[in-house]
Structure 1
Amino acid sequence: MTGKVQAAGLFGWIVVVFIAAAIGAAASVQAAAFYGQLAQPAWAPPATVFGPVWTVLYACMGVAAWRVWRHGGFAAQRRALWVFLLQLALNALWSWLFFGWHQGALALLDIVLLWMLIVVTIVLFWRTSPVAGALLLPYLAWVSFAAALNYAVWQLNPQELG
């Protein structure tokens, strides 16, 4: 691949990832206010932590997908990239379930499925590019933390999170 094709690919994967982020963010417009009114465990971070953390994680996700895509394009990496796109969709859906529709149990189910697909994505990415797989490890760690937080907040707020 030429340098221009590689740069366009990187730009494309970053755009795809941040489109998913924007879809999730659309459900999170009132997230800080909603999150702030919920009973939370003592270990819950302030709402202001989530935006910067997710920005870094999404950037890493885009670079990871690009690094895999560079090895023969979508045709050669179809399975790994489709799993990546599926987990990205579940990622965006979580914000709608939790913040948009206030469905704590469904959000927890979504995040458990998301966690499993992230693990599969890491394995598939690692086979092609260990760096790409490693770029997703902080994402897995954060989603693990977010799953525990989702459960705790849902348990503490059964009326607000159905």
Structure 2
Amino acid sequence: MTTFIPSITLPAAVFSNPAAAILLPIALGTAVGFSVRPKETQNTYMALKQPPYRPPPYVFGPAWTVLYGLMGFAAYRAYDTGMSPFASTEKHLLTKQGATLYTIQLGLNLIWMPLFFVAKRPIEATVDIVALTGVTGYLAYVWGQVDPVAGWALAPYLGWLGFATYLSAGVGYLNDWNLADKEVNASPAGKGTKYVDEKE
């Protein structure tokens, strides 16, 4: 069972301040998204064989912004409740344990896109997102014991991670776990936001 590890945990000030808690994951996620060059990322995404029910590229930005915001809200809510002087010692411990888990899951979250789109390592990216989903599920359980609202605030994120795991594994499998040189200059002519494996 993961315990509180100060050396790998975000500072308490991040969790205790609602603006910092909510804006930090949004800012970090946005920074990573732009650092991997969104145009090239979209072109790579469009060039890959995709499993059924894959969303168009423009869905991901707004979806992740909302999910990062909910993630940050859950962090603030759990910390504010669990570290209250009126909370039990058990809740204090669970809150701090959750803070370490939260930091770990945020790190796993942020390295997925560079692994998949920059390094083009779909196996490692899929292992990463499976680990991320597991850690987040455990985090929701831990923080749910501190404050049910905090636990439920992670539910949409957890659901999306399950879907994203399916997409990551599906893309890897359909492309023989090899994304090297998979990029198009734009979506196929006349197809708008369709993929290279879609029929007219």
Same fold (TM over 0.5): yes
Asked if the contact 1:97/1:103 (under 8 Å) is kept, the reply is: yes
Q: How many residues align?
A: 154
Q: What does residue 28 of structure 2 align with?
A: 20
- Any stretches of 5+ residues in structure 2 without a counterpart? 1-12, 85-91, 182-200
- Give a deviation string over 1:40-69, Cα, whole Å, max 9, x none: 123211111111111111110010000011
Q: Aligned-pair distance for 1:151?
A: 0.6
TM normalised by structure 2 equals 0.72
Residue matched to 1:47: 57
Higher Rg of the two aligned structures: 2
CA distance change for structure 1 residues 156 and 61 in 2, over 3 Å: closer, same or farther?
same
Which moves more between the two structures, 9-18 or 103-112?
9-18
CA distance in 1, matches of 2:37, 2:62: 14
Aligned equivalent of 1:121? 139
Q: In the superposition, relative to structure 1, how do residues 111 and 161 fare at CA in structure 2: closer, same or farther (>3 Å)?
A: farther
**Fraction of identical pairs, as percent:** 32
Report the AA paired with residue 69 of structure 1.
Answer: Y
1:43-122 matches, cutoff 5 A:
43-71=53-81, 72=83, 76=92, 77-122=95-140
Of Structure 1 and Structure 2, the greater helix share is in 1
Deviation (angstroms), 1:16: 2.3
- Partners in 1 of 2:71 and 2:18 — Cα distance? 11
TM-score, L = length of structure 1: 0.88
Question: What residue ranges of structure 1 are gaps of 5+ in the alignment?
Answer: none
**Partners of 2:49 and 2:174 within 8 A in 1:** yes
- In the TM superposition, residue 23 of structure 1 has moved relative to its aligned partner by 4.4
